[in-house]
Structure 1
Amino acid sequence: MAEEEDFGALPLTDRWVHKVWKVRKQAYEEAAQEFEKTPDEYHAAFRPFTQDSGLWKSAVADSNVAAQQEGLAALCAYLKFGGREGANRARQHAITPIAEKCLSSTRAATKASGLEALLLFIEADVPAPVIEELLPVLSNKQPKVIAATLAALTQIYHNYGCKTADPKPILKVLPKVFGHADKNVRAEATNLAVEFYRWLRDAMKPMFWNDLKPTQQADLEAQFEKVKAEGAPKQERLLRTQQAAKERAPAAGAEDAYEEDGEDVEEPVEVDAFDLAEPQDVISKVPADFYDKLASSKWKERKEALEALYALVNVPRIKDGDFAEINRCLAKSMKDANIAVVTQAAQCIELLAKGMRKGYAKYRSTVMQPIMERLKEKKVTVSEALGAALDAVFSATNLSECLEDITTYLIHKNPQIKEGTMKFLVRCLRTTRDVPAKQEIATIVESGKKLLSEGSEALRAGGAEILGTVMKIIGERPMNPHLEGLDDIRKTKIKEFFETAEVKAKEKPKPPPAPVARAPPAGPRKVVKKGAPGARKPAAAAPPAPEPAPPRAAPVSKLGMPKPGGLGGLKPPQKRTLGGPSAASPRRAAPAPSPPPLEEEEEEEEELPPSPVAKLPQRLGLGRGGLAGRSLAKPAAPLMAMAPPSPAPQTVFTAIERAELEELRTANEHLLRQVDDARQERSKLHSEIQELKNQNAGLIEDHTRDVLSIKAKETQLVRARSDAEAAEQTNDRLRRELERLKRALNKAEAMNPGPGSPGSPGLGYRTMSPTHDDVGIYRDGPHPSNASRDRMSIASTLSEEKENGDGVPYPRNKLSPDLRYAGSTASSGRGSPAKGFRRDIGGEDREYPRNLDSAMGYSGYGDRTGSRAGSRTGRADTPSGGAQVTSGMESWKRAAEVTSQLKARIEQMKAKQASRPQQ
């Protein structure tokens, strides 16, 4: 018990984050009760949670499910009774935990409280920030979290509608959730799509329909059929701003206002695909040969060019660009001799106007007149295509801009063009939302009257239809002056079209009370000063007038003074009362006289005819006979005679104030609507900013990937360069080693000259060029001394080849098999033939590579063909690479044998040199 008392003594915020779940649960319950008892949103109970909004994150994500449920209840109470600022601060901390921890809870109460909290977040402000917070949750790893979030989004759009909550962010991610592996996620995605269809109908399909599988499209179509029978959906929950606007509406005129504006409220529910689609860049995709084909002499090429353009512009929304040249070409195509080309050009104009909407208005003057000139075509398909193009151009502009061209072609000499223009004008009058100006109405009426006298029945009926549609727009009474001079038959025909016409623009005359309420303020002043004696006669003669009605009801105030609303009757009576001895105070002077003497006094004043001389004393506050001829007890009577008109200005001013109040209310509602529109625009901009941020993140990721790839390539390049440098160093080292071995061999031969020295029997042999067989004989013979002669013979053969120009001298790396193979694998040397040969000879001599290079020099000079073949064994483009490799390996074996013979000979020479001094 002591611990519980200590817990209760802790502040609420400390218990809110206490480690014991029961303490936290008790804190949540206590906070919810305090929120419900607060008188307004400015109570001190909300302040700690407004200052530290992070407390709600721990409450809705409480580890204990019982405490979590109470935390959600506290949040709902906070959002319901708190202010907008606190809700907006708590939104960024609470929505993600609610979506991840509460919406997918197994407890029904927790799930319901989480959904209610989301709806209250939206009710406090706007839906866009809440939807932005829920979008990342759709990428969660747990399917149940995604399914619960989709169900919550379905409820959000069901309660607030697609007019209040922007559906574009969710429509973009619908294909992703439809492709999810979990069937529950796909089922919730289907429910959300059906909810969208209730509000948007087919306008939502271009956003995601093509990304779905055929089976999913078939299933959705089956679900859509069930929804089509339902009526237009209505918003079930209102935002606080909408609730305030509804409360501010006048109670008496609320129903009428709803009836008048009912069409405007329900029409935007039918959202167009243009509002949902993203603008697509079309101008950059136009083929390069479009203009060349369009100027071709063959009509098929011209039609193919227009068909290609039609495929490009057949999108819900087109990004604005420079389409001036394209529209000039399309206007020129209106004069084409082939009607197929004309029809295709008209369809392209229609799609361009529908895809650009208001952005197409600047091209109206370019295409409208050529289209009207082509209305002479009698073929139905051509005339329908031209009419649809004109309607699309008109939807991008307004009646004022098109009226001049329409009236010009209504008097065209071609009856077919005249009839087509007349039908176009009727369609414009039916679809326009702006009531034409008086001058424009007069122009249209004159054109319609001219058509009434045409010889064609269709044109006469069209003129009557034009006049009947105009009558439907401006009203029957304002139209009567325009119909003067027409016979009854034509008036009857116009009246028939008036009754059947359907228009979207209707002139609503403003109520007249406002001007009437402003007129009387100047009147009371004259009545009080000049017409006081005859004040009762206007009351009997003209009851509707505002001045005479109030005098008997409230002539004076309770204190006996005229009310403050009076204009001219206040100061003069005060002067009169102060002049009389019986009225020391104006507050005591007023109650003294009774109504009967007042009437008698008024009757006496009415009997006397007014004279110009008598007007001056009355204005100065004196009697008709001056100061001497007037009793001192009668000044009160004129006071009361002048006092009754004073309440009339009070009533007039009340009407004025009421009219001004109505105007202020109307202006206030207009401003509130503007604020709501600005908020919606702000939410759209926020969503676009978020989308741009996502695109920027993707671009940054791509850039980072490219940079890493470039760095990896640079690293590979550096390694390759280092390997090349190492190979060059190895090549230089081996070349120096070869030179050293050659010098060593020359020194050894100089110290012990063989049979090839001058004067020896082998001199003549050195001048000969041995064949390949001779070299083989010498190399394979039993006399090791033949190796020296082989070398000399090879050297002479090389010199002869140089002199005869048989070929380019062998480079050093071709003379040495070690270098030849090292050129391809210089860095590692694992594929070097020297190592393979060293394994073959079993490590007989560790100094083998030096002797091998010199031996290979002999083998290269002795067998030129083998050497060249061996030098080309590493080339990949050599056709006989395998045979050359075998020949190279045989040369290596022969070189090994020559080397062993050379070693033996060197040992013999050393032995001879060592034995000479002893002899």
Structure 2
Amino acid sequence: MADQEEDFSALPLPDRFVHKNWKVRKEGYEAAAKEFDLAASESDPVVRQFITDAGIWKGVVGDSNVAAQQEGLGALCSFLNIAGPQGATRTRNTTIATIAEKGLPSTRPAAKQKALEALLLYIEMDKPDPVIDELLPILSHKQPKVIAACLDALTQIYHAYGCKTVEPKPILKALPKVYGHADKNVRAKAQELTVEFYRWLKDAMKPLFWNDLKPVQQQDLDKLFEKVKDEPPPKQERLLRSQQAAKETATAAGGGGGGGDEYRDEEEEAAIDLEPEYEAVDVFSKIPKDFQERLGSSKWKDRKEALDDVYKILDTPRIAEGPFEELVRGFAKCMKDANIAVVSTAANCVELLAKGLKKSFAKYRSTIMNPMMERLKEKKQSVTDAIGGALDAVFASTSLQDCLEEILEFLKHKNPQVKLESTRFLIRCLKTTREAPSQAETKTIAEASTKLLTESQEVQRSAGAEVLGTLWKIMGDRMMAAHLDGLDDIRKTKIKEYYESAEVKAKYKPKAAAPPPKAAPAPSGKRPVPGKRPAAGGIRKPAPAAAAPPPQDEPTAPLAPKPTSRPGPSKLAAPKSGLAAPSRLGGLKKPGSGLAPPSAAAPSPRRPIASPPPEETAPPPQPKLGLAPGRGLAARPLGKPHAETSQAPQAVSQAPTGLSLVERAELEELRAEVERLRRQNEEIRAERTKLTSQIHELQNQNAQLIEDHTRDVLSIKAKETQLVRARSDYEAAEQTVQNQRREVDRLKRELSRQVRATSPPPTDLSDQIYADANSNSRFGDSGYGSTGLYGRNRTFAAQPQSPNGEGKENIDSLSRPGSNLSGKLSPMRAATGSAKSSLSSRGGRISPPESSGNGIPGNHANTGAESWKRAAEVTQNLKQRIEMMKAKQGIGRSQQ
């Protein structure tokens, strides 16, 4: 039996791993674990043979004997610790599935724990994705205990490494299937895993699986979520080997201070991509061929229908790359469309295309971004919301550095609406960007935002303050202090509010300064730096230690030694500066330094060693130390015995007295003076800030007053203009009324004169005019050429008209019964009766005259020739006057 045991132990480890006896295998696993723990590196022969023969580990982790399996899992953990990434990558394809099926469900807690540790080491050595890919099929295993053990292991993996390191989407997508399992233990473990996911992801994980759960399961999970909802954000407990190396590098770069903390902050700020993965769809081939033609239609409904068709085609989560240049140019052209429905639909199409192409859309940014931002002038909120969503999608496909220049240009736009919406777009960009802006970009953004604080509109000032608050959240206090220094307290308070409420995804991290190069040890003959006190321990060391850098906290050390009873040092003057420090150091370590070279026959007076009395009483060359302080260590040979410096601490103990207190007091005074000056500087700066804020406020008030004054002046001028116009209209109307009155008065006077001129016997005149039917010789020169009553009537009707062409109408008006002139010229016509008829306007017959009521006969033979002549002249004169009156009246009307 003993021989067999010796034979077993003499077997090579690989042979013992596959031995049929489980005890031999178990002892082989234990021996291998010890060998791995003692190995120096992965290149050790015992490690290399198991890296080369990686398939042997499958039988180790799946050993049929539970005791041997436990030791085999321990040996695998020891192997992974020394084999590193190479050993993990070579063995994980054959061991992880076996560990999940036989190690995790083990009845032995130690074996189960070692199986879990092996999975964690596989993740730590390389990366977690291959391990998760191997564990996913186990969730469909036919044995519920295997599925439950795998879910518990996944919970421990995500708890240790976090969702920022281990991708959560594959497991989240598989959760609905696990929740549908018949075994309650499986569902319970699934709940534990879901709660762990919630600790890291909160509600952002729900879109991936929540709708596939039953309402009862959702309610149960909500109750579990409430218990961990208020817990602080979890932190990664284990680091990958790559993360450990990065942390060590950061620690070394930070001088061993906070480098590790900075690395952990960066890890915490890493993004967790929870967007589901979709297969890319080729939408370019589905776009109608006549899209551009329909987009150029003169009817807005045709253009909108074309965009609607493209919108339906682009409505897919993932779009395959293609030549979309013409399509994007068409969208940019639609941004200038007069119809807002076309503009909104085009913006929605841009949003879908940018989200579908993701980073591939960056090359189209310059084509579409400017037209969209220019169209932000639209006041309808639905249009600006659609354009804002498209701009956010475009920004998500690019970066802040790509879009910043154009955004800052639109912050100076003359349209207030464009300026406001551009500012809001910049705020959204700062909140969603994952790359902090550089110092130059920060300065540009801060300057542009500070100008917005002086805008007349309150909403624009608030937007500018929000930009500064969000930028402050990203860059930190140190970077933003210079940009916020000149602002008044009111604006700082407003910016502080936005700073506290801002949620950003980026955090500015200054680049770690390179560690200073290590100073090479100075040679023993190098002169020490003046004003520095050497360390106490360095005095007892040999000469090379004298060149060690002295501490910086005691600048008063370089003082001359206090006068003692010794004749040499008592004559030294107390220097006020540190020039005597080298001589003092030289005196401590080489008392023979001076003009004379040191020798064994002239020992230093500070050495209490025994020496001949003449040499001891001889005046030492100490005054030469003060005369030649620059010689210092240069005159000391390197091979000087160490016994010379054995009593040096005594001299040092005598030095820091007397003048060192004076220097220390002076230093305190200087520090107090500096502190006082610093306080004064702070007060002056605060006063300047206060004055600057007052100046800004006064400038704002002045600008508001100027604006109000300008508005009032313009209003007054407008009222004055209206008043002048009304006054002018009134004067013109008054002038017209006066002209009309004067004309009426003139006509009245003219008519009165005519009535007075024709007032002699009106009855005789009418009788003579209407009774003379045969006398035509007297009117021969006037055109009455025919004889007889009727012939005279015709010639009278056809007589020459007045110059105005109104002769006939004037005569008719004189003869009409309703005419004013007829009534005035013949006032007695009404008295004589209706026997006398007026001339017919249509050339009718004139009734023969009859005798008047006075008894005067109607025959003109009894009337003298002079009366008829006078009547004809009066009639002709009357006609001319009437025509002149009408001509003047016509001229007056034309002037009016």
TM-score (norm 1): 0.52
- Residue of structure 2 in register with 1:417 after alignment: 418
| Correspondent of 1:549 among 523, 528, 532 | 532
- Residue of structure 1 in register with 2:165 after alignment: 164
Q: For 1:497-576, what aligned pairs fall within 5 Å after superposition? A: 547-551=530-534, 553=536, 558-560=541-543, 563=546
| Correspondent of 2:266 among 264, 267, 280 | 264
Q: Offset of 1:371 from its aligned partner?
A: 1.6
Which amino acid in the other structure matches residue 378 of structure 1? K
Secondary structure in structure 2 of the residue aligned to 1:121: helix
- Residue of structure 2 in register with 1:219 after alignment: 217
Structure 1 Cα separation of the partners of residues 480 and 27 of structure 2:
74
Q: Offset of 1:603 from its aligned partner?
A: 6.6
Which amino acid in the other structure matches residue 277 of structure 2? A
Question: CA-atom RMSD, angstroms?
Answer: 5.7
Encode CA deviations 1:463-486: one digit per residue, 9 max, x unaligned: 455456556666667767767987
Encode CA deviations 1:160-201: one digit per residue, 9 max, x unaligned: 333323345556666776788888777766765665555445
Structure 2 Cα separation of the partners of residues 225 and 299 of structure 1:
53
Report whether the alignment pairs 1:277 with 2:277: yes
- Residue of structure 2 in register with 1:407 after alignment: 408
Maintained 8 Å contact 1:203/1:271: no
Structure 2 Cα separation of the partners of residues 221 and 585 of structure 1:
99
- Residue of structure 1 in register with 2:96 after alignment: 95
Q: For 1:861-900, what aligned pairs fall within 5 Å after superposition? A: none
Secondary structure in structure 1 of the residue aligned to 2:269: helix
**In structure 2, do the counterparts of structure 1 residues 198 and 315 end up closer, same or farther at CA, with 3 Å as the change threshold?**
farther
Secondary structure in structure 1 of the residue aligned to 2:288: coil
Maintained 8 Å contact 2:281/2:316: no
Which amino acid in the other structure matches residue 457 of structure 1? E
Q: Which has the larger radius of gyration?
A: 2
Structure 1 Cα separation of the partners of residues 418 and 484 of structure 2:
26
Q: Offset of 1:94 from its aligned partner?
A: 2.5
Maintained 8 Å contact 1:473/1:505: yes
Secondary structure in structure 1 of the residue aligned to 2:164: helix
Report whether the alignment pairs 1:583 with 2:566: no
Report whether the alignment pairs 1:117 with 2:118: yes
- Residue of structure 2 in register with 1:371 after alignment: 372
Maintained 8 Å contact 1:465/1:497: yes
**In structure 2, do the counterparts of structure 1 residues 577 and 499 end up closer, same or farther at CA, with 3 Å as the change threshold?**
same
Which amino acid in the other structure matches residue 239 of structure 2? L
Maintained 8 Å contact 1:561/1:590: no
Which amino acid in the other structure matches residue 336 of structure 2? K
**In structure 2, do the counterparts of structure 1 residues 552 and 288 end up closer, same or farther at CA, with 3 Å as the change threshold?**
closer
Encode CA deviations 1:500-559: one digit per residue, 9 max, x unaligned: 6666656566799979x99x99xx99x988xx9xxxxxxxxxxxxx85223475776733
Q: Offset of 1:363 from its aligned partner?
A: 1.8
Structure 1 Cα separation of the partners of residues 151 and 404 of structure 2:
50
Structure 2 Cα separation of the partners of residues 415 and 488 of structure 1:
26
Maintained 8 Å contact 1:303/1:341: yes
Which amino acid in the other structure matches residue 58 of structure 2? K
Encode CA deviations 1:820-868: one digit per residue, 9 max, x unaligned: xxxxxxxxxxxxxxxxxxxxxxxxxxxxxxxxxxxxxxxxxxxxxxxxx
Structure 2 Cα separation of the partners of residues 23 and 475 of structure 1:
63
Between the aligned residues of both structures, percent identity stands at 51
Maintained 8 Å contact 2:593/2:625: no
- Residue of structure 2 in register with 1:456 after alignment: 457
**In structure 2, do the counterparts of structure 1 residues 181 and 319 end up closer, same or farther at CA, with 3 Å as the change threshold?**
farther
- Residue of structure 2 in register with 1:11 after alignment: 11
Maintained 8 Å contact 2:162/2:200: yes
Maintained 8 Å contact 1:36/1:77: yes
Maintained 8 Å contact 2:126/2:240: yes
The answer for unaligned runs of 5 or more in structure 2 is 551-581, 610-615, 636-643, 653-896
**In structure 2, do the counterparts of structure 1 residues 288 and 249 end up closer, same or farther at CA, with 3 Å as the change threshold?**
closer
Structure 2 Cα separation of the partners of residues 253 and 285 of structure 1:
58
Structure 2 Cα separation of the partners of residues 117 and 139 of structure 1:
22
Structure 2 Cα separation of the partners of residues 249 and 411 of structure 1:
42
Structure 2 Cα separation of the partners of residues 620 and 76 of structure 1:
59
Secondary structure in structure 1 of the residue aligned to 2:238: coil
Deviates more, 1:417-426 or 1:559-568: 559-568
The answer for unaligned runs of 5 or more in structure 1 is 533-545, 623-635, 645-919
Structure 2 Cα separation of the partners of residues 59 and 485 of structure 1:
71
Maintained 8 Å contact 1:118/1:130: yes
Maintained 8 Å contact 1:445/1:467: yes
- Residue of structure 1 in register with 2:128 after alignment: 127
Q: Offset of 1:422 from its aligned partner?
A: 2.8
- Residue of structure 2 in register with 1:765 after alignment: none
Q: For 1:215-614, what aligned pairs fall within 5 Å after superposition? A: 216=214, 219=217, 222-223=220-221, 226-227=224-225, 229-230=228-229, 231=231, 232-243=233-244, 250=251, 256-257=258-259, 264-268=266-270, 271-274=272-275, 277-278=277-278, 280-284=280-284, 286-288=286-288, 290-291=291-292, 294-296=295-297, 299-300=300-301, 302-437=303-438, 440-441=441-442, 443-466=444-467, 547-551=530-534, 553=536, 558-560=541-543, 563=546, 583=599
Structure 2 Cα separation of the partners of residues 483 and 185 of structure 1:
57
Maintained 8 Å contact 1:190/1:220: no
Structure 2 Cα separation of the partners of residues 503 and 552 of structure 1:
50
Maintained 8 Å contact 2:526/2:634: no
Q: Offset of 1:583 from its aligned partner?
A: 3.4
Maintained 8 Å contact 1:278/1:317: yes
Maintained 8 Å contact 1:330/1:367: yes
Structure 1 Cα separation of the partners of residues 545 and 78 of structure 2:
54
**In structure 2, do the counterparts of structure 1 residues 362 and 147 end up closer, same or farther at CA, with 3 Å as the change threshold?**
same
Maintained 8 Å contact 1:42/1:83: no
Maintained 8 Å contact 2:337/2:343: yes
Secondary structure in structure 2 of the residue aligned to 1:227: helix
Structure 2 Cα separation of the partners of residues 63 and 239 of structure 1:
32
Encode CA deviations 1:373-403: one digit per residue, 9 max, x unaligned: 2222222222222223223323333444333
Q: For 1:638-653, what aligned pairs fall within 5 Å after superposition? A: none
Q: Offset of 1:33 from its aligned partner?
A: 5.5
Structure 1 Cα separation of the partners of residues 482 and 424 of structure 2:
25
Structure 1 Cα separation of the partners of residues 454 and 247 of structure 2:
53
Q: Offset of 1:621 from its aligned partner?
A: 8.6
Structure 2 Cα separation of the partners of residues 200 and 85 of structure 1:
32
Structure 2 Cα separation of the partners of residues 41 and 168 of structure 1:
34
TM-score (norm 2): 0.53
